[in-house]
Structure 1
Amino acid sequence: MDTIQTPSVETLMTKAVVDLAKDDRFLAHLPTESSRIEGQGHYRLAKIFYDKADFEKAEEHFLMALARTELPQDAFAIFKIYGFLIRIYSESLNEKEAMKYIQLSSELLDQTVAALPSLNAEYFYNAAVVNTYKGEFSEAHKNFNQAYRKAQTENEPELMAKSLYAMATNAYQMKNFQDTINHLNQLNELLNILKKGYLKGSMHLLWGNALRELGDYSSSLPQYDLAMKLLHSKRCWNMHNYVLLNKGISLKKMGEFSKALMLFGLAQNSLDDEYFKRLEQLIMMEVEDVNDSSVDLYLDRHNRVIHEKALGVIDFKHRFVLLEILFLLAQTPGTYYNKEDLAKMIWKDEYNPLIHDKLIYTSISRLRKLIEPKGIKRQYILRGKDGYTFNPRVNARFHKENEVVKQKNIANIEISSPV
């Protein structure tokens, strides 16, 4: 008896896409040239592989789709393909290829202006995307706003949604985090109608990041969980490890080091390190920041919080002077600061015993009550004949501010941002 050959998953997917391309309803929206129909099939197949995080096959099919496009009728389709390729090359840190397609996007934008009878919402959206590639965030902001207004006029709800998400991302890039959340609130209302799962998953990921930047770590965690749930329901795996990374960063900032390391480990073990090189580097940076389980005190000056291993998170947002004393001492363990030093460095005054003696004593006492675990006397701040010092035997770690932001990000885009 002959063995029955079971077709591969890729073969079945390819057949499904080609069948769709031959469907009469689909053909109604396409030119009849067979090569362009094939191009549409390759594009849809590439998008499937992109969502599944198989960037090698996605790149292959995007390039085959690109080879079957024609200008001027396929201009906006070409923009989309360029966008996907730029994201793939940015993630794999292939700067040469990414910059090539950024340049082609810019040239295509100029060609599109000449071919269009009037500038529509899609044109302004792509113009803003090109601005973003170049780091021109203020100009991108103007064009995304214009795209949103035009999409409203042209009754293009999906483009309205993409524009709102892009405006939120743009605000995030310019560190206007409250504006980011305002745009996402608008987007959330629209997506309750449109039911775009991938975009909504991206929205919750960005929402979590914005809340984290505002210092609201606990509120960021449910946003990451929502992102993960939505992406899994849509079988989209390309952002899976980015959600794990960002949730881990929030946990790290809360001082939950073991939980953060668990998430970093899950992300690291399940990524394709050939194509997700940027993500791999980001994860390694975070692991290096928290991999010492013996940390006693984790200090985040930017967000004015610390984490003590027995007490948990301690908020210093309304205790500015105490925080400054702690950081002064903790930055140079074993170095003693006398009353004259503290008066000058903390209060910017010349030492006056009538003023500063009680002020210093009271401030140090309040600080100790905040950070010293019960039952352990003077673990962190010690007093000697030369003044006060931070215990050099304590393992303290300082949060590396903006370290992830400094990591190379070609074209200023993320995998999570829709094309």
Structure 2
Amino acid sequence: MQIVGGQESGTSNQKESASLDVLGFVGSGEGLIPTQDNLTKLEVGKAYYQLGKLHYDKADLNKAEVNFLKAIDCAECPQDNYRVLKILSFLIRIAAEKLEDEKAEKYISHSEAIVNDLQENLGSLSAEYFYYSGLIKSYRTDFDGAYQDLDLSYNKSKEENDPDLHSKCLLALANNAFNRGQFELSLEYMGQLDNLLKIINKEYLGGSMHMTYGKIHMATGNIEASLKHFNLANITLQNKKCWNLYGYILLGIGQVQKVKGDYDRATLYYNLAKQAVDSTTFKRLTNVLDAEIHEVNDSSVDIYLDRNNRKVKEKNIGVIDFKHRFVLLEILFLLAKNRGSFFDKEDLAREIWKDEYNPLIHDKLIYTSISRLRKLIEPKDNSNTKRKYIIRGKDGYTFNPDVKIRYQMETKLTAGKAVANVDISSPV
């Protein structure tokens, strides 16, 4: 697995300098000023946009925002409406990452006003119109309405023979299906996008595609495929010298490791991600990473139960694999989900073995199973008379209600919930 840090190379800086010369800029850093002697207002605006995109790719969100706003100031609407919509999409993503609700709301409202103006004044609506209309509805969490517009854009972009817009529609539709829990449909769109990107060269979109693949496969439990695509996202975006998604790639790999039950490696990737990003601007990502690290290392949690991957992590023992211990896992989850409730032999025979209790069959089976389960999960310093987890009373067995349990460790993006329901990797 190849993970390379987001350090700028001399080659990247040389390319930046060359591009600025072509765009007619003098100075360096924040002091870059367009030389307007021979440039129109439109050309100056395009130059500011290119600078904004350059800083955006390099993960300098503050400089990107400054230049994007200057690009909008140079726009002349209505003829530049679509260009402004594209720039606003970048600004919304920056505000979402910086958790700046008021700015995001302002940019979304501006986008809505432009879309409404286009609808009122255009004789016919293009694929590009429906694409941005769909994105804006996504910002408002109207996923059904967004799907209708994005699907129209998808079909119109084919009619208009616009492969670039068609590719962005496919990624937007895949994200839309993912947000609606339709993972198979999401994978269908991703398959079409994968085939299209073999024909057209759009590396940044390719990186976003692999990240989306990673999220879908993680949600459906295909862990190895998820890890493969996060690594492909890393390689693809490094080829473009693009670092703004590097922290999110490390986050994704860490989440895959967590689902696999390798909590030490998950923590390693989370900490690498924290070191790789500027926490003062990547606030959403930083919040998510802090929540993930806290979840994995929460010392107050006695035992983690991961049913999907058939793993248990006990605070003192570590990770315990239950892949070939199905009956023991079922007993553990039955008791843990009903802490404080006692299950006698009749209950266990019915719930675990789906049989009516027969002492000749079940007495030894239950005793042996409980004994094996205790040996697996009970800390070694506990005596047989003082069990930490599985307690026996006169009414049967129960799970200690005083211990702290956490169930299957899932990704918790709500800790850094994106403003406007977007993150920096979503399509523009």
TM-score of the superposed pair, with normalisation by structure 2 = 0.81
Which of the residues 176, 182, 187 maps onto 2:182? 176
Three-state SS of the structure 2 residue aligned to 1:194 is coil
Q: Shift of residue 373 of structure 1?
A: 5.2
Compared CA separation, residues 138 and 11, structure 1 to 2 (3 A) = closer
Counterpart residue number, 1:284: 290
How far apart are the structure 1 equivalents of 2:273 and 2:122?
A: 44
Q: Shift of residue 186 of structure 1?
A: 0.9
Q: Shift of residue 324 of structure 1?
A: 4.8
1:48 and 2:54 aligned: yes
Please say if residues 346 and 356 of structure 2, whose CA atoms lie closer than 8 Å, have aligned partners that are also in contact: no
Gaps of 5+ in 2: 1-12, 26-37
The letter for the 1-side match of 2:80 is: D
Q: Shift of residue 79 of structure 1?
A: 0.4
Counterpart residue number, 2:358: 354
The letter for the 1-side match of 2:202 is: K
Alignment of 1:259-408 (within 5 A): 259-291=265-297, 298-301=304-307, 303=308, 305-307=310-312, 313-315=321-323, 323-330=329-336, 335=340, 337-339=342-344, 342-343=347-348, 346=351, 353-354=357-358, 358=361, 362=365, 365=368, 382=390, 384-386=392-394, 387-390=396-399, 397-401=406-410, 403-405=412-414, 407-408=416-417
1:155 and 2:164 aligned: no
Please say if residues 287 and 415 of structure 2, whose CA atoms lie closer than 8 Å, have aligned partners that are also in contact: no
Equivalent residues, number: 395
Counterpart residue number, 2:255: 249
Please say if residues 125 and 144 of structure 1, whose CA atoms lie closer than 8 Å, have aligned partners that are also in contact: yes
Please say if residues 254 and 313 of structure 1, whose CA atoms lie closer than 8 Å, have aligned partners that are also in contact: no
Counterpart residue number, 2:149: 143
Q: Shift of residue 325 of structure 1?
A: 2.9
1:414 and 2:419 aligned: no
The letter for the 2-side match of 1:410 is: V
Compared CA separation, residues 15 and 200, structure 1 to 2 (3 A) = closer
The letter for the 1-side match of 2:171 is: Y
Compared CA separation, residues 171 and 255, structure 1 to 2 (3 A) = same
Counterpart residue number, 2:244: 238
The letter for the 2-side match of 1:117 is: G
How far apart are the structure 2 equivalents of 1:113 and 1:393?
A: 60
Higher relative contact order (CA 8 A, sep 6+): 2
Q: Percent identity?
A: 35
Please say if residues 213 and 229 of structure 2, whose CA atoms lie closer than 8 Å, have aligned partners that are also in contact: yes
| Cα RMSD, aligned residues only | 3.7
- Superposed CA offset, 1:81-127 (max 9, x none): 11000000011000000001111111110111233231111011011
How far apart are the structure 2 equivalents of 1:346 and 1:17?
A: 73
Counterpart residue number, 2:140: 134
Which of the residues 122, 128, 136 maps onto 1:122? 128
Please say if residues 250 and 269 of structure 2, whose CA atoms lie closer than 8 Å, have aligned partners that are also in contact: yes
Compared CA separation, residues 11 and 187, structure 1 to 2 (3 A) = closer
Compared CA separation, residues 117 and 299, structure 1 to 2 (3 A) = same
Q: Shift of residue 358 of structure 1?
A: 4.2
The letter for the 1-side match of 2:210 is: H
Alignment of 1:191-206 (within 5 A): 191-206=197-212
How far apart are the structure 2 equivalents of 1:73 and 1:264?
A: 45
Compared CA separation, residues 401 and 358, structure 1 to 2 (3 A) = farther
Compared CA separation, residues 372 and 72, structure 1 to 2 (3 A) = farther
How far apart are the structure 2 equivalents of 1:282 and 1:91?
A: 11
How far apart are the structure 1 equivalents of 2:171 and 2:18?
A: 30
Q: Shift of residue 175 of structure 1?
A: 1.3
Q: Shift of residue 353 of structure 1?
A: 4.0
1:212 and 2:221 aligned: no
Please say if residues 332 and 390 of structure 1, whose CA atoms lie closer than 8 Å, have aligned partners that are also in contact: yes
Which of the residues 15, 21, 26 maps onto 1:16? 21
How far apart are the structure 1 equivalents of 2:350 and 2:415?
A: 30
TM-score of the superposed pair, with normalisation by structure 1 = 0.82
1:186 and 2:192 aligned: yes
- Superposed CA offset, 1:29-75 (max 9, x none): xxx97111100000011001001000110000000000000111111
